[in-house]
Amino acid sequence: MKVKIWGCRGSLPAPGPETVKYGGNTSCLEVRLDDGTLVVFDAGTGIRRLSRALDPDPPSTIHVFLTHLHLDHLLGLGFFRPMWKPDCKLHIWGPSSAMRTLRQLIERYLSPPFFPLQLGDVAESLEFHDNPFGECSLGSATITGEFVTHQGPTVGYRIEENGRSFAYIPDHEPARDVDLQRRSPEWISGFGIAQGVDVLLHDSQYSEEEYNQRIGWGHSSIHHAVSFAQIAKVGQLVMFHHDPEHSDDELELLLKLAVEQWGGAANPPILGYEGMELQI
Ligand SMILES: [Zn+2]
Ligand SMILES: [Zn+2]
């Protein structure tokens, strides 16, 4: 399968000259399964450019898996043109709440006064799949969803196809109230999703100093991201969900710290950037 990053910024879009290299658009991944099926992970502002790349003939069926409904993962959905095409079937997967379905939750944003159109205008071409936990099959791929520690219901995903795998956990605080090294792995949030994958795209939002002032906000420090990747024995850590306050230069300083912590082992961490393509 092939993965392309269309947005890897966290929390808020951060366009500007200081973020040109790694990009200012928020979370969005395009995944092409081996049979050509298009699967999109998260609908942050990066999805607008994916939408343009699909014009004028998007696939007739598209799956969009949302990790959660914070706006940095949802803001672009209304600008994903296939959504408004009656001849395109869009499957939207994501967590709901005890009180509202996934559709009702998304409708709160995609309706006036927050958005000029309403989901009801395209009711026929949308299908919602609440709480995609456990395994589901798409073509020759298996997608596994599991709750991970963040703010509010949030899913981490593992995608496996023909013996290759990657995990996508963009918003994650596995080390809240716990020392990762001292806990047995099966009790670490997200471990089951990430264990042994070839590639892990993981929350790497904060420096240690920043994290210490933001404990419980739902994100990882660089140290936590690297520790988590090492414990899960992943092949390649791709640092993701960059803080909007971090310039390209600052991200490269954080990368240096991550590589140091990796300690000379093979395939040290790399920074995700807009336009990055991974053949997995
Ligand atoms: Zn986020
Ligand atoms: Zn979030």
Name the closest ligand to CA 95.
Answer: 2
**How much is the pLDDT for 95?**
97
Q: How far is the CA of 162 from the centre of ligand 2 (A)?
A: 31
Name the closest ligand to CA 73.
Answer: 1
42: left (phi > 0), else alpha (psi -120 to 50), else beta? Answer: left
Q: How far is the CA of 71 from the centre of ligand 2 (A)?
A: 8
Q: How far is the CA of 172 from the centre of ligand 1 (A)?
A: 9
DSSP notation for 150-186 = SSSS-EEEEEEETTEEEEEE-S--TTTTS-GGGS-GG
Q: How far is the CA of 214 from the centre of ligand 2 (A)?
A: 14
Class of domain 2-279: alpha beta
Q: For the chain, give every domain's residue range.
A: 2-279
Name the closest ligand to CA 13.
Answer: 1
Tell me how far CA of residue 238 lies from CA of 192, 218, 269, 277, in angstroms: 18, 18, 6, 11
Residues lying with their CB under 5 A of ligand 2, a single-atom ion: 70, 171
Residue found under tokens 């073509």: 139
Q: How far is the CA of 234 from the centre of ligand 2 (A)?
A: 23
User: 269 near 237, Cβ under 8 Å?
Assistant: yes
pLDDT per residue of the chain (280 residues) written in tens, 0 to 9: 999 999 999 999 999 999 999 999 999 999 999 999 999 999 999 999 999 999 999 999 999 999 999 999 999 999 999 999 989 999 999 999 989 999 999 999 999 999 999 888 887 889 999 998 999 999 899 999 999 999 999 999 999 999 999 999 999 999 887 889 888 999 999 999 999 999 999 999 999 999 999 999 999 999 999 999 999 999 999 999 999 999 999 999 999 999 999 999 999 999 999 999 999 9
> Which amino acid is located at 172 in the chain?
H
Q: How far is the CA of 227 from the centre of ligand 1 (A)?
A: 20
Q: How far is the CA of 264 from the centre of ligand 1 (A)?
A: 30
